[in-house]
């Protein structure tokens, strides 16, 4: 059985003159670079290879990595756009109720209502910027943003890449994307309301 890997960073550019590279972080546990001496790099096209991490330090929201055998700027350029990975089984242990984004992405999401489950689509990404609950970005007939909260989740089988959820009535209809005309109408209404409020303040 092929070993599975997860991406914890992606190389963006060279850094310094002795083979260091700057990488964007894709992990919530950057402190574990201290313990991870053997990492894997995967190019956009080609085979994954193992490298030994000599040193690392955090810089401007990312991490600078120095690998053994990568000693010059030219060496470092060979790692550009490579994903930095670890074996899936080496991921940090999560607290109860927490889930890895990599487990969610790629899952088929079904709405459980009535007699037959309804396939909504496939989880393409997870958005953490909208509030307390992360939003599953689900691609189906439309793009849906569905809160990933315990009360909605009926079951989740990450090995089978399937999530069953019981969603509030009308959620998918409310979340369906607006047409161009509807977006323009809403923008016009918002502009009108803002202008009316400014006029009212001027007349006080």
What is the predicted pLDDT for the residue at 174?
57
pTM: 0.61
- For residues 153 and 97, what is the distance between their CA atoms, to the nearest angstrom? 11
What is the predicted pLDDT for the residue at 198?
47
Alpha-helical (H) ranges within the chain are: 73-77, 101-104, 171-175, 180-202
Q: How many CA atoms lie within 13 A of 21 on its CB side?
A: 27
33: exposed, middle or buried (C-beta count within 10 Å: 0-12, 13-18, 19+)?
A: buried
What is the predicted pLDDT for the residue at 195?
54
Q: Residue 99 CB: number of other CB atoms within 10 A?
A: 15
Mean pLDDT of the chain: 85
Residue 2 to residues 5, 16, 35: CA-CA distances in angstroms?
10, 36, 24
- For residues 177 and 143, what is the distance between their CA atoms, to the nearest angstrom? 7
Q: Which residues of the chain have pLDDT under 70?
A: 1-2, 97, 174-204
For 15-29, b/e burial (b = at least 16 CB within 10 A) is beeebbbbbebbbee
């Amino acid at each position: 059985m092929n070993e599975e890997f997860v991406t914890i960073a992606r190389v963006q550019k060279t850094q310094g003159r002795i083979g260091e590279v700057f990488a964007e972080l894709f992990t919530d546990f950057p402190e574990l670079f201290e313990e991870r001496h053997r990492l894997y790099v995967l190019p956009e096209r080609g085979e994954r290879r193992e490298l030994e991490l000599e040193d690392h330090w955090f810089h401007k929201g990312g991490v600078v990595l120095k690998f053994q055998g990568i000693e010059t700027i030219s060496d470092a350029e060979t790692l550009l756009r490579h994903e930095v990975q670890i074996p899936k089984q080496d991921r940090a242990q999560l607290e109860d109720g927490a889930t890895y984004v990599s487990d969610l992405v790629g899952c088929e999401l079904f709405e459980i209502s009535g007699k037959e489950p309804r396939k909504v689509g496939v989880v393409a990404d997870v958005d953490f910027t909208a509030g307390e609950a992360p939003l599953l970005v689900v691609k189906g007939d439309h793009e849906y943003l569905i809160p990933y909260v315990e009360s909605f989740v009926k079951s989740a089988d990450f090995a089978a890449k399937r999530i069953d959820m019981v969603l509030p009535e009308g959620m998918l209809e409310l979340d369906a994307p607006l047409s161009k005309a509807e977006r323009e109408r809403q923008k016009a209404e918002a502009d009108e309301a803002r202008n009316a409020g400014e006029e009212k303040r001027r007349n006080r």
